[in-house]
């Protein structure tokens, strides 16, 4: 049997255990509880990359579907990188009917600027206008 890659928004096909296992080890969400991953996935427009039935990639978009979107938790497992999956995923996300005509689409990245630039993402033009209220360690005990 020849397995193929599928990109889907069908959350019933997602392997939350696999998504949590990856995200809990990332620089952006170390130690994130499974319950947080479940809630974030369910309440976002989420995208999974499947190889057969195996979860090999993921991304989610927090959006009002009219003016604003925030791309988060994007990954492809290392063993599946180098096959154009990140680009396919971004093409799929940006073509999604609920993400058309937005005024602003944000993301944060430490090391994938080159990838996102290919899809029209740029550095914030007016960083003085951007403010944040952040808690970078919300999952650690006080």
The answer as to whether 51 is a domain residue is yes
Looking at the DSSP assignment, which residues form a beta bridge with residue 63? 69
What is the predicted pLDDT for the residue at 3? 81
Distance from C-alpha of 107 to C-alpha of 123, rounded to nearest angstrom: 10
The answer as to whether 50 is a domain residue is yes
Q: Name the residue range of residue 80's domain.
A: 5-129
- Per-residue pLDDT for 102 more than 80? yes
* pLDDT tens readout for residues 83-100: 999 999 999 999 999 999
The answer as to whether 141 is a domain residue is no
Residue 36 — very low, low, confident or very high, per pLDDT cuts 50/70/90? very high
What is the predicted pLDDT for the residue at 138? 74
115 contact partners, CB below 8 Å, separation of at least 6: 86, 87, 90
The secondary structure of 5-51, three-state, reads: EEEECCHHHCCHHHHHHHHCCCCCCCCCCHHHHHHHHHCCEEEEEEE
The answer as to whether 137 is a domain residue is no
The answer as to whether 97 is a domain residue is yes
* pLDDT tens readout for residues 38-69: 999 999 999 999 999 999 999 999 999 999 99
What is the predicted pLDDT for the residue at 139? 72
What is the predicted pLDDT for the residue at 12? 98
Which helix H or strand E contains 116, and what residues bound it? Answer: helix 113-117
> Which tokens in the block code for residue 77?
């497992």
The answer as to whether 63 is a domain residue is yes
The answer as to whether 140 is a domain residue is no
Section 28-34 average pLDDT: 94
- Per-residue pLDDT for 140 more than 70? no
**Where residue 25 sits, what CATH number does that domain have?**
3.40.630.30
The answer as to whether 135 is a domain residue is no
- Domain count across the chain: 1
């Amino acid at each position: 049997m020849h397995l193929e890659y599928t990109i889907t928004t069908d959350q019933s096909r997602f392997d939350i255990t696999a998504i949590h296992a990856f995200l809990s080890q990332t620089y952006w969400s170390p130690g994130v509880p499974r319950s947080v991953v479940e809630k974030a996935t369910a309440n976002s427009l989420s995208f999974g990359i499947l190889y057969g039935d195996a979860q090999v990639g993921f991304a989610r978009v927090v959006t009002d579907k009219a003016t604003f979107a925030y791309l988060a938790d994007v990954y492809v497992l290392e063993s599946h990188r180098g096959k154009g999956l990140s680009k396919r995923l971004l093409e799929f996300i940006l073509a999604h009917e609920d993400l058309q005509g937005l005024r602003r689409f944000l993301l944060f990245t430490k090391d994938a600027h080159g990838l996102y630039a290919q899809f029209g993402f740029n550095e914030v033009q007016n960083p003085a206008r951007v403010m944040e209220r952040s808690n970078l360690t919300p999952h650690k005990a006080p």
